Amino acid sequence: MARPDETSTRVSQIREFLDHEDAAPTSDDKRPLTYDLAVYGVLGSMYQTQLWPTLNLGLSQAMGKMGKPDGSTLLTIADTISSRKVTELLQQRN
């Protein structure tokens, strides 16, 4: 488990990334990772512990900690969460 000072630093790094995120490139030139999609991907996965390793990877990639910034993984997380929500709502209506 991370120490409080480590957690605070990580939260600050994520906040700084999101505050400065206009659009990160992805593997799909027509769909960059926008601020809204980045926030949706981060917040949407916070309560799904099985997504935490993927979220960590996606943030590292988008922030350029693994080379050239790439928002593809965070975009995939946002798309996955979005699709799940739509499917759940449709199932509840039936």
Tens digit of each residue's pLDDT (9 = 90 or more) over 13-69: 888 888 875 678 888 888 888 888 999 999 988 888 888 899 999 999 998 898 999
Q: How far apart are CA 47 and CA 55, in angstroms?
A: 11
Give, for 23, the enclosing helix (H) or strand (E): strand 23-24
Neighbours of 22 (CB within 10 A): 8
pTM over 0.95: no
Question: Which structure tokens are listed for 8?
Answer: 């605070």
